Amino acid sequence: MNEINFLCPAKLNLDLKVLGKRADGMHEIQTQFQLIDLYDEMQIKKNDTKSIQVKTNAGNSIEGEKNIVFKAITALSNHAQRDLCCDVDIDKKIPMGGGLGGGSSNAAGALIGLNKLFDLQVSSSELMSIGQDLGADVPFFIYGKNAQAFGIGEKFTENKIASQEKYLLLHPNIHSSTKDMFLQWDELSDVSQRSILDKEKNSFLPLFLKNNHEVQFLFKESVNSSYPRLSGTGSTIFYAYKKLKEIEKTFKKIPTKWRHSFCEPLQCSPLLKYLT
């Protein structure tokens, strides 16, 4: 086998609670992950150039060493103690900075794909350990099943009940920085944090709305007809529904410059079939 092609799925955070900050600066969270059928496409080919090349359709700002996939390949190469020379092409369809885990899913896909392509025989638990150093969501995408996550997002309890809901995703032209959102959370008083935890499904929603007035307007307009939620630290807003008529009014209020996606839930990741 000289090449492998696969899909890297997105995820939604159906809820997200920030429970505290650890001594190492990481945050304890509780979240419910739901995989959805929105994918980046990835191709990995072995090469003879003794180098790692990572290219995307999203411009050079996330190519080469700047891409988390490059870091994932380097980390796995160090773990396996061998060169993993390859060319990676990523066709990105998951919006960046949208709270859907596209970069983390790509990193997980690279670890799983390379493990298969080079027959490294690295276990899932080892891959998850490597992934944890790359990003908090990477272990979940290696785990590959809908789950409640705890700790810093690396401990899972599988949700075996298949979702009966579909999702409308709205993608504002906003890049929401996870790092910045956690910094803003840390600046809140203990009283404010406790109040948000009591009232909100997503701890970051009040902060995100305060930062983005156009989105705040949409929330006020649609909250009576359907319940909008924020995925991760933003910026993707989503609505769960069973029949399209439940969100028809909401759909008409979407600003024309925003992207949107209709997504179905996945019970497990297509990456799982490549795990040894």
- CA-closest candidate to residue 255, choices 211, 201, 209, 216: 216
Q: State how far the Cα of 95 lies from the Cα of 1, in Å rounded to an integer.
A: 31
Q: State how far the Cα of 70 lies from the Cα of 79, in Å rounded to an integer.
A: 14
Active-site residue, 11 included: yes
- Among residues 40, 92, 116, 137, the one annotated as catalytic is 137
Active-site residue, 253 included: no
**Long-range CB contact pairs, 45-51, < 8 A, 24+:** 45/2, 45/3, 45/86, 45/87, 45/88, 46/2, 46/3, 46/85, 46/86, 46/117, 46/118, 47/85, 47/86, 47/87, 48/85, 49/85, 50/83, 50/85, 51/85
Residues 6+ apart with CB under 8 A from 257: 173
Residues belonging to the active site: 11, 137
